[in-house]
Structure 1
Amino acid sequence: MATPPITFVPSPSYEAALRRAAELWGIQLEFWDIFGHHHVASPETLSSVLRSLGVSSESAQSLNAAIESRLWSEWSSPVAQTLVVSLSAGAIPIQLKDSEAGAEIRFEWESGGHTAVSVESADSIHPDTARLRDHQLIRIQVPLPKEATLGYHRVTVSTAGGRRAEGRLILCPDQAWQPDFLRRGGRGAGVAISLYGLRSHRNWGCGDFTDLEHFTQWASETTGVAFVALNPLHAIPNRQPYNTSPYLPNCSFYRNGIYLDVERLDEFTQSEWANRLLRSAKVQNCLAELRAAPNVEYAKVWRLKLVFLKLAFREWLRRNPQGTGRREVFLRYIEGEGNLLHRFAVYQALDEAVHKRDRNLWIWPDWPTTLHDPDSPQVREFESTHATLILFFKYVQWRIDGQVSAAQDFAQGLGMPIGLYHDLALATDRCGSDLWAHPQAYVQGCRVGSPPDDFSPKGQDWAFPPPNSIWHRDSGYELFVQSIRKNS
């Protein structure tokens, strides 16, 4: 049976329009806490959240206009900007005017190649319908071609009426991926560690990737575990008292250089300056102090590693000039990471340079306002004058990537069916690089928290911004995809 058509009738009051808009934008109107208390969001709260999402909520008229505009945008385009569909569903939705006899749909597959199909609106049984802005619109289901596979594809719809739209098509499995041994009914246990807390006679006061391999070998040989679970390895500021929590990262996409085993780098062992400095009494005394410290001295460890990493980088550049094979490998890594790595490296270089000029400037919101926009002329000028420093921070991530991959290969080489099991922080620091580099991806007028419970009777305010679900959807969830890929 066909459902009634979607229509728009303006809400008669501000309160009604407010609740309707909140529901349309996915805002929960009420909840029951664990104590049995009923909480209803106030009009002020709903209005504030809507404004943070970019919705004008000053009056019933502005809310009605926003609601109508959103309904129109969802129905008037032949295809949504992003479609997330289970492959097993077998079809995708498209929108046509009832005056349009059909459409041509072109699927461009992630693996290459394309498939074109035609549909006629008359063939659709009980389509969803809408009546908006004096247009009769229908939503029909287009069967997926047999060539469709899991992945990230593109789809273009050209209607018989001359309209054209394209979007990202994400074809998903019905459940998360599982290793073969689990799919066959196997079971596996693991052990969880905080990498920074591993102690050894050889590290620099903080557990590193070589310590991780040593621990992994012990865990495998002693207990036969299937995996080693890690704390989030995200980049953090590494300076106290500001923030040393792995669960409130500076960047969700790249890792903390403090975990690098500097002495394992070939260019470190090849650097006469680095080795001479390492053997000095001053550095040896510093290392002994850091290893004996009751807690991880993030600022001191990172400051020391930064000195040696820059010496190693200088040696690496000297031994790998432009045109050499190793330099080309590095450049391909940079190209593959694209703007995501570039913005993080620019942020790190800016953070170092600005803090060096003024020790009172700890976070980017306190930087000169001309540096708040990563696309500003002043940031572009900084990039041109600090290219080597920016390249250094890209080099650090490249070296981290290599040591993480080596640790995973080592774990699986021991027979661990899973190996390393990474954690992904829910939060990102509102004063960190993610908010500087990708401000549109977050709802900056809101903060994430939790309702009252036994642990926190008054609830919790976690003080970090939630992701902007609308922006993520419209951009094809690309940043979310990267956050998963970069932490696996």
Structure 2
Amino acid sequence: MTEIPASPDAPSEDLRRLAEVHGVSTEFWDFTGNHRLVTAATIRAVLAALGVPAATDAQVAASLADAELTPWRSPLPPSLVVRAGREHEVPVHVPDGAAVTLVVELEDGDTRPLTRRDHDLEPRDVDAVRTERAEFVLPADLPLGWHELVAEIDGVGAVRAPLAVTPDRLGEPRLATGRGWGLMAQLYSVRSARSWGVGDLGDLAELTGFFGELGADFLLVNPLHAAEPTGHMTPSPYLPVSRRFVNPLYIRPEDIPEVAYLPGPQRALVEWAAEEVRPANATNDPIDRDASWEAKRRALEVVYAAGRSRSRQHFLERFRAEEGQGLEDFALWCALRERYDGEEWPAELTDARSPFVARARRELADRVDFYVWLQWVADEQLARAQKVAKRSGMGLGVMHDLAVGVHPDGSDAWSLREVFAHGIGVGAPPDMYNQQGQNWHQPPWRPDALARTAYAPLRDMVRTVLRHAGAVRVDHILGLFRLWWIPAGMGAEDGTYVRYDHEAMVGVMLLEAARAGAVVIGEDLGTVEPWVRDYLGERGVLGTSVLWFEKDDRGQPLQPEAYRRLVLATVDTHDLPPVAGYLAEEHVDLRDRLGLLTEPVAKVRLAARTERERMVARLREHGLVGADPTERELVEALHAYVVRTPALLAGVSLTDAVGERRAQNQPGTDTEYPNWKLPLADGAEQVVLVEDLPGNARLLSLVAAVRAALGDDDRLQH
């Protein structure tokens, strides 16, 4: 490990102190083990995005003084997130000598008075007011839930602050055999003969039913987050306009109950719309989301206009009330996006709380109702898919994927504007697979704003996503600890880490998961400090192990027994080619063609070949392959190897099961590669439909190999 020399733009000591106070890293270790210092320009830009003046030395000094006094200026913290089963201290700042009491109002209506604790902290002057800190004790026996602290202060009155009591640890999933396995699929790519050119929630229900019959415990799907309702739809499911709500592209129109009662002419309109895009199901062309959504939207307009029965309308209204203001704002954003399709919005509409937006809400009431209805329909179809999953025997059922961020011009960024940092993109520093770093161009949440809102954006998002699911995979879960912030105009390598209150962030997520009875899996790949993985394991959050990335300190494949137990273990990821393509070094060929390599292709190819040979040797060592294994034998052996680890969950990519060779996504590209557009196909690039899966010999053979390795093949149904 070496020290990278400081830049001429090195920060002053005061600027470094100010950065650390606000959770902005001034140094870090890169993936090569080198110690790097962050430039002053990056630090000042990040602090500005946090609302901290730091452009001059005088501003830095003033901001340091302000940061020291900020906690003393409010009677109570903006919010408090604590663990159940432990005592916690609550500071209350009051005028010196003022009487104060503190109680907890529980969410069930009960009230618990808190005991004051003596301490030796001296009062101090805060904005010309002599202020003291009183400390109270939260008892260890408070129930899980969202409660409220209420301080009664003489001369001030009642002051309130949200209190979340979260699980100390999330329980492990209860699976019939103790360990579980499941499939992983990009839902948009898995189409049936009844799809509208893109996989949908009807297909999801069919998949969960079939895989449940095969003994699978879960089906992990790509993020189903909302995308643009008009214009070009962003293909990446990891760049949504909202992480809380669902992309109505995934709705199966014919599965809406009202369709059965449509008059002949209206029913014909729905059928004609489907006929326009259904032929695409049989082609291997890139998926055209825009064409599919245009056809679906016309059909959905017809169904919506037909109305609903009294009881169905009641269910819609109840859903609307449960999802609250967040749903109303999302639907309004969709209606505004529709009104100004392709045009820049008027400046007065950029503030979601302005009177101009309130007027637009009234003017667009019917379109808002339509977009609310779409979310209700999607919610019903998601509920059906989860119900089918559980009835088929799945231990968990649907496992959702939660993207790390949102589109900078999307609904979340608009309706929750005050929570996001502006002029910043989230990404990742250079690593061995993306040596130029990555900028995902997603605005990050501000840590201070999350605390001020009692983590409501996180709470509401997780609660909605887990309405009909047994698990959630959190993409880049390190984002609950720190994120790589890249100031606008700078390269991905010029960013720095900004820390979050991980104790609060993880706690809020676990509270919502516990209420939903769901499992949380964190994608903890990349450069991760060991304590982070230990912490997540202690909280009951499963990690992620990918076979190709699990190596010992000599670069050899990790032995099965050396894997962690509390993980979802897989052979590959959606950012790599499926096993067949990876073994053929297609990830090297592709990056070479696209100019993404920062080292000579011969060197990269040699590294890939060495990696393959070491892995095959490890498989032979464990008796999983012979001297000259076929591609299919290697695929099955690699999955059997993963199952031999102590991992609690094992995942099998559907692309591996059918012999696909192409990656769904190539990091570092946009239009250069058809990212997130490839339909499910076999090794000969012949389309594989949902109806083909029960008779797919390769899939059934791989499933049998996985179940045999688990010792659970006796219940396999064909």
TM-score bucket (shorter structure): 0.7 to 0.9
Give me the whole-angstrom Cα distance separating, in 2, the residues matched to 1:63 and 1:138: 27
| Equivalent residue pairs, number | 453
Give me the whole-angstrom Cα distance separating, in 2, the residues matched to 1:132 and 1:193: 59
Once the two structures are TM-superposed, the CA of residue 428 in structure 1 deviates from its matched residue by 0.3
Match of 2:357 among 362, 379, 382: 379
Once the two structures are TM-superposed, the CA of residue 404 in structure 1 deviates from its matched residue by 0.5
1:392 partnered with 2:370: yes
Q: Structure 1: which amino acid aligns with 2:135?
A: I
Q: How does 1:452-467 map to 2 (within 5 A)?
A: 452-467=430-445
TM-score w.r.t. the length of structure 1 is: 0.86
1:295 partnered with 2:286: yes
Give me the whole-angstrom Cα distance separating, in 2, the residues matched to 1:286 and 1:159: 66
Match of 1:311 among 299, 302, 305: 302
The answer to whether the 8 A contact 2:190-2:198 is kept is yes
SS in 1 for 2:112: strand
Going from structure 1 to structure 2, the CA distance change for 1:389 and 1:242 (only over 3 Å counts) comes to closer
1:333 partnered with 2:328: no
Give me the whole-angstrom Cα distance separating, in 1, the residues matched to 2:153 and 2:191: 64
Give me the whole-angstrom Cα distance separating, in 1, the residues matched to 2:275 and 2:44: 59
The answer to whether the 8 A contact 1:94-1:140 is kept is yes
Which residue does the alignment assign to 2:206? 214
Match of 1:244 among 235, 258, 262: 235
Which residue does the alignment assign to 2:259? 268
Going from structure 1 to structure 2, the CA distance change for 1:90 and 1:266 (only over 3 Å counts) comes to same
Q: Percent identity?
A: 28
TM-score w.r.t. the length of structure 2 is: 0.60
SS in 2 for 1:463: strand
Match of 1:108 among 105, 109, 130: 105
Which residue does the alignment assign to 1:169? 163
Which residue does the alignment assign to 1:232? 223
Which residue does the alignment assign to 1:7? none
Give me the whole-angstrom Cα distance separating, in 1, the residues matched to 2:336 and 2:247: 17
Gaps of 5+ in 2: 1-10, 467-718
Which residue does the alignment assign to 2:473? none
Q: Give per-residue Cα distances to partners, 1:294-325, cap 9 Å, x unaligned.
A: 22210011001101111001112xx44xxx33
Moved more, 37-46 or 126-135: 126-135
Q: Structure 2: which amino acid aligns with 1:485?
A: R
The answer to whether the 8 A contact 2:26-2:38 is kept is yes
Which residue does the alignment assign to 2:18? 21
Once the two structures are TM-superposed, the CA of residue 58 in structure 1 deviates from its matched residue by 2.9
The answer to whether the 8 A contact 2:115-2:136 is kept is no
Give me the whole-angstrom Cα distance separating, in 1, the residues matched to 2:145 and 2:75: 22
Which residue does the alignment assign to 1:10? none
Q: Structure 2: which amino acid aligns with 1:44?
A: A
Please, what is the CA RMSD of the aligned residues?
A: 2.5
Once the two structures are TM-superposed, the CA of residue 109 in structure 1 deviates from its matched residue by 0.6
Which residue does the alignment assign to 2:144? 150
Moved more, 454-463 or 416-425: 454-463
Match of 1:200 among 192, 214, 219: 192
Going from structure 1 to structure 2, the CA distance change for 1:219 and 1:27 (only over 3 Å counts) comes to same
Gaps of 5+ in 1: 1-13
Give me the whole-angstrom Cα distance separating, in 2, the residues matched to 1:291 and 1:268: 25
The answer to whether the 8 A contact 2:196-2:274 is kept is no
Going from structure 1 to structure 2, the CA distance change for 1:43 and 1:107 (only over 3 Å counts) comes to same
Match of 2:179 among 187, 191, 200: 187
1:354 partnered with 2:336: no
SS in 2 for 1:105: strand
SS in 2 for 1:166: strand
Q: Give per-residue Cα distances to partners, 1:146-166, cap 9 Å, x unaligned.
A: 4x1111110012246756532
Q: Structure 1: which amino acid aligns with 2:139?
A: L
Which residue does the alignment assign to 2:331? 345
The answer to whether the 8 A contact 2:274-2:296 is kept is no
Q: Structure 1: which amino acid aligns with 2:333?
A: Y
Q: Give per-residue Cα distances to partners, 1:320-363, cap 9 Å, x unaligned.
A: 4xxx33322222221221110111111111111211xxxx43xx
The answer to whether the 8 A contact 2:144-2:165 is kept is yes
The answer to whether the 8 A contact 1:346-1:390 is kept is yes
Going from structure 1 to structure 2, the CA distance change for 1:424 and 1:131 (only over 3 Å counts) comes to same
Going from structure 1 to structure 2, the CA distance change for 1:377 and 1:419 (only over 3 Å counts) comes to same
Moved more, 193-202 or 54-63: 54-63
The answer to whether the 8 A contact 1:205-1:292 is kept is no
Give me the whole-angstrom Cα distance separating, in 1, the residues matched to 2:87 and 2:353: 42
